[in-house]
Structure 1
Amino acid sequence: MSAVGFTLGADAAQGGGAVPDRAASAAAPPRQRLQRRPVHGLLLLDKALGVSSNQALQRAKWLLRADKAGHTGTLDPLATGLLPLCFGAATKFSQLQLDADKVYEATLRLGVRTHGGDAEGEVLERRPVACSPEQVQQVLARFSGAIEQLPPMHSALKHQGRALYEYARAGLEVERAPRRVSIHVLELLALALEGPEPALRLRVHCSKGTYIRSLAEDIGAALGCGAHLSALRRLRSGSLGLERSLTLEQLEALPEVERLRALLPVDALLAGHERVTLDDDNAARFLTGLRRRGTWPDSERVAVYAASAASTEPAASAAAGPQPGALLGSAHIVGGELIPGRLLSPIEIQQITLQTQS
Structure 2
Amino acid sequence: MDVPVNQRARSGLEFLGALQGYTGGVLQQAAAARYAEVVTDPPLDLAARRASVRAALADHGPWLFDRLYTRYVAEEIYVRSIPAAEQARAAIEEWLDVPGDAPGSLTLDPEVATPDYFTAGFHLTTGGWDGHDLMGVVIHDLGYRYVLVPGGVGAARAGESLMDHRTQVAREAPRRDYRHVLELGCGNGRFATVLSTEFPGSHYTGVELSATQLKYARARAVHEGRDWTLVQAPAEATGLPAGSVDLVAVFTLFHETPPKATEAVLAEAFRVLEPGGDLVIGDIAPQERNAAFRAVVLDWETEHRGEPFMRSYLQLDLPALVKQAGFADVEAYGLGKGDYPWIVRGRKEA
Which protein is bigger by CA-based radius of gyration? 1
Decide which structure has greater strand share: 1
Q: TM-score, normalised by structure 1?
A: 0.23
Normalising by the residue count of structure 2, what TM-score does the alignment of the two structures yield? Answer: 0.24
